[in-house]
Amino acid sequence: QVQLAESGGGLVQAGGSLRLSCADSGRTFSNYAMGWFRQAPGKEREFVAAINWSGGRTYYADSVKGRFTISRGNAKNTVYLQMNSLKPEDTAVYYCAGHGGLDYTGLGPADFGSWGQGTQVTVSS
């Protein structure tokens, strides 16, 4: 059974940085793409970033491009989301997601079969 556990959320001032981590257990991590999504109160869950199985391809939402970086450490079964230049509109619960294949296909949440519990990120103005 796949288990995903996020960590690294918290409260930060606008312009600050946070690094989220997600540890994956229960499967061969290096065989699957991974992603990050977020959900703000009253809004739908939205795509943030994804990375293919090797780390050689990454994908970003336009709203975070140039500020966020997704990466992975296959030896540690962990995916990361480095968030810089944070804005109040980045405030949300951030979820790690495990894909069922090698690469993200652009279908959003439907592409992912495993989800973590989420970690709160709050950016104050």
pLDDT tens digit sequence for 4-49? 999 999 999 999 999 999 999 888 898 899 999 999 999 999 999 9
- The CA-based dihedral angle spanning residues 10, 60, 55, 8, taken in that order and rounded to the nearest 10 degrees: 0
Give the model confidence (pLDDT) of 40-61 as tens digits.
999 999 999 999 999 999 999 9
* Confidence at 80, pLDDT banded by 50, 70, 90: very high
Cβ–Cβ < 8 Å for 58, 66: no
Give yes or no for a contact between 111 and 102, defined as CB atoms under 8 angstroms apart. no
Q: What is the 3-state secondary structure (H, E, C) of 51-76?
A: ECCCCCCEEECCCCCCCEEEEEEHHH
